[in-house]
Each structure stands twice: as C-alpha cells, then as structure tokens.
Amino acid sequence: MRALRTLAVACLALGALTACSSSGSTGATGSAGPAGSTAPAGGTGSTGASAPAADGAGQGGTKLAPKEALLASAAVMDKAGSAKLTVKGGETDGTADYVWTSPSSFLLTSKTEGKDVNVLFTNDQMYIGATPEMAAVAQGKKWMVISTKDAAGADSAEAGSFAAMMQLMNPSVQLTAAAPTATLVGTETVAGQSATHYRSELKVDDQVAKMQLDPALKAQVLAELKKKGGTATVDLWINAKGELVQQSSVDPTAETGDATNVVTYAQLGSVKATPAPAASEVFSLSDLLQQ
C-alpha cells in the first residue's frame, strides 16, 4: 500500500485527475490518451521511429516549446501503450508491469520487511499476493481478491480508489496535464540516457476543484495536499525519441524522511498484460476470516 500511495501522490502532483475528468474513461487501468493530440509522423515510443528530440527539436530542426514537447511526448507514450516502471519514494522500492491500453493491467511488486509483496489490477479486480502466513490459512491459495465493483465495505472502496488512480497513472494523461505550465530546465543524463528536463507548477486548488469526487472526500484531499503549500511541482525527463524516461514529485503529506517520489519508465511497448489468476488460486477476505 505504501508503493501504491507513492504512485497516487505522483499522480496527484501531475494533475492527472484534472486531465482524466475530461477523458470520459472509467474503471481500472485503461487507455486515456491526450485529448486533441496526435502522434508525431511515423513516431512511436517502442519502435524507435521518428519523434521529437529531447532538446525540443521537431521536424526540420524546429524547436518545440515546452508545452508542445510534452504534448508530443504524450502522443508517443499513448502509442507505446505499456512500460516497466521502477517506483521509489520514502520507504518504498518497487517495480511494476503497466499496460495502459486494452486489455489493461498493473502488476506491482514491492519490498516490505525484506519480502516481495505483489498487487495486481486487472478486469476491474484488485488482487493482493498472499504472504506465506496467509497462504497457509487459505489452503495454499496465492491471491486475495477485492472487487473494485463491490461498493460495500472499506476494502472495496479503497480498491476502487486505487483502480481509478492506476488509470490516472497513464503517462500520456500525465504529460498532457503538465504541458500547460511546463518550463525547460535543461539536458541531463537520467536512467543512463540523455534527456531534456521539464518542470511544471500546478495549483492544488485547481486540481482538486476539477476532481469528480464526493464533496466530503474532495475536502479531505484538498486539506491533505495543502498541508505543505498551495502548489505541486513535478519534474519530467523526455529522451530524444520523445519517450518519458522519468518523473519526480514531492509528497506534500509526508511527515518525515525523503518526500520525493520517483517513477522511471523502461521497455516501452514490450510489456504484456498480466492475466487474472486462476479461480483455484484466489480467495476472498471473508474466506480467510472463516478459516
């Protein structure tokens, strides 16, 4: 859950909720490409075809302004459709196989007390990998399921919240949200490759005002995000192919320790959707309590 929270904060800082509110998408992870944008001629993130250069150079050497560079990158990421993510923030270190095109899925593996913990979203379901102790009680079954469509209970409500958040983690949505306020920082080496560094400042009030949330929950989200100020800063690094290499944001709710959340993207377009586990490997929380 700490790893999921890291992703949620990164998502909020990018203002992706604002972008998604106009995308018309619902449910768990899904494709929500940038509205009104098109892929660069012949360009994709996964094939290495032509795309905007990291220094903002467009077709014919024309320099792209930061906003246009981010929108072009959004089109590249939308077409790539999948990536392997490395997630770091506070006490969280994890990796994720993320497919944001249909059929979509998100498989997160993080380290907790030296053990791997898995969380999977697919087919509007949230699955939590069973620890050895849980599996022993659950007759060897490997996954506990929480339905994101079941409105009853706090667990299903949290699953639904995370399912929506995973959709919002779509990098093309994030880039589109960050584009209007993007500024150029410079060229740096990130994740072993040269990339152009952009920064966006987003007003927390504007982000939350456009969220499609219950009024009480909206007020709670706004209060949490404004604890450390009224704006959120996000940094994005884009390589010469127009691919998003890394994003970084600060957790405004962190009390202690490193508040920086970093998500790195790799293997664009090569990650396959993770199928739901077999019924014989799945148990519910009520099954566990009955045992």
Distance of CA 157 to the CA centre of its chain: 19
Provide the token pair at 86. 């490395």
Cis bond before residue 103 (omega within 30° of 0): yes
Q: Is residue 189 one of the residues assigned to a domain?
A: yes
- The pLDDT profile of the chain, 291 residues, written as one tens digit per residue, is 455 555 555 555 444 433 333 333 333 333 334 333 333 333 333 333 344 444 454 434 457 999 999 999 999 999 999 999 998 876 668 899 999 988 889 998 987 667 788 889 887 788 989 888 888 888 889 999 876 555 444 455 555 565 556 666 788 878 888 898 999 999 999 999 999 999 998 777 766 665 556 677 677 777 776 776 777 788 999 999 999 999 998 765 555 556 788 999 999 999 999 999 999 999 987 777 777
Name the residue among 115, 44, 94 with its Cα closest to residue 74.
Answer: 44
Residue count of the chain: 291
Q: Are strands 143-147 and 282-284 parallel, antiparallel or unpaired?
A: parallel
Q: Is residue 46 one of the residues assigned to a domain?
A: no
Domain of residue 91, CATH code: 2.50.20.20
DSSP-derived secondary structure letter, 57: B
Q: Is residue 45 one of the residues assigned to a domain?
A: no
Which residues are CB-contacts of 89 (< 8 A; sequence separation ≥ 6)? 6, 9, 10, 251, 258, 259, 260, 261, 262
Q: Is residue 274 one of the residues assigned to a domain?
A: no
The structural domain count of the chain equals 1
pLDDT at 115: 75
pLDDT at 93: 82
Give yes or no for a contact between 207 and 17, defined as CB atoms under 8 angstroms apart.
yes
Range of the domain at 158: 2-35+54-266
pLDDT at 222: 77
Task: Name residue, tokens 């639904």.
Answer: 160
Q: Is residue 43 one of the residues assigned to a domain?
A: no
Question: What's the angle, vertex CA 180, arms to CA 246 and CA 6, rounded to 5?
Answer: 35
Q: Is residue 141 one of the residues assigned to a domain?
A: yes
Provide the token pair at 58. 């467009």
Q: Is residue 249 one of the residues assigned to a domain?
A: yes
Q: Is residue 41 one of the residues assigned to a domain?
A: no
